[in-house]
């Protein structure tokens, strides 16, 4: 189970790249490709600026955290598309959120149609449904359901 190019593209496309710190829709200080202090160093400060090379390095470190979180939570073997979709979700909602998600529960029960449908439940930030999250969850579910050659 590996994060594939489609998963990396999905994450980077939806996170976007910001080289100056900003507050995301949930009010959390964020930089790079959606990096927050929750993922570890560097800890984001309001006046922080980074380079493209730093953003790429932070992204690679963050990806390893979320890939490991998904691997540790899975009790079944999934294909790379399914794994990549779950890593994208985990990257966005955190390891704890993912570990408690119905996406994970249904996948571990091998109820894959229900797992795919459950991505859509994670569409809120600050209690509000966000169109960007609706689109991201649809893209994750589509990747999860995509048959590999």
CATH number of 5-145: 1.10.530.40
DSSP-derived letter for residue 101 is -
Q: Where are the domains of the chain?
A: 5-145
Q: Measure the CA–CA gap between 41 and 100, rounded to whole angstroms.
A: 24
Catalytic residues: 15
Question: Phi and psi at residue 21, in whole multiples of 5°?
Answer: -60, 145
Which pTM value belongs to this model?
Answer: 0.93
Predicted confidence (pLDDT) per residue in 30-78, tens digit: 999 999 998 889 999 999 999 999 999 999 999 999 999 999 999 999 9
Torsion-angle region of 27 (φ positive above 0: left; ψ -120 to 50: alpha; else: beta): left
Q: Measure the CA–CA gap between 1 and 74, rounded to whole angstroms.
A: 10
């Amino acid at each position: 189970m590996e994060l594939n190019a489609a998963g990396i593209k999905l994450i980077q496309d939806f996170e976007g790249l910001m080289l100056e710190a900003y507050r995301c829709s949930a009010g959390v200080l964020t930089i790079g490709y959606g990096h927050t202090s929750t993922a570890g160093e560097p800890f984001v400060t309001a006046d922080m600026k980074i380079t493209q090379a730093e953003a790429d390095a932070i992204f690679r470190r963050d990806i390893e955290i979320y890939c490991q979180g998904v691997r540790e939570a899975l009790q079944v073997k999934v294909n790379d598309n399914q794994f990549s979709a779950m890593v994208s979700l985990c990257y966005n909602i955190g390891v704890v959120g993912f570990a408690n998600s119905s996406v994970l529960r249904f996948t571990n029960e091998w109820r894959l149609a229900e797992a795919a449908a459950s991505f859509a439940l994670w569409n809120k930030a600050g209690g509000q449904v966000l169109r960007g999250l609706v689109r991201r969850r649809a893209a994750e579910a589509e990747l999860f359901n995509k048959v590999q050659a």
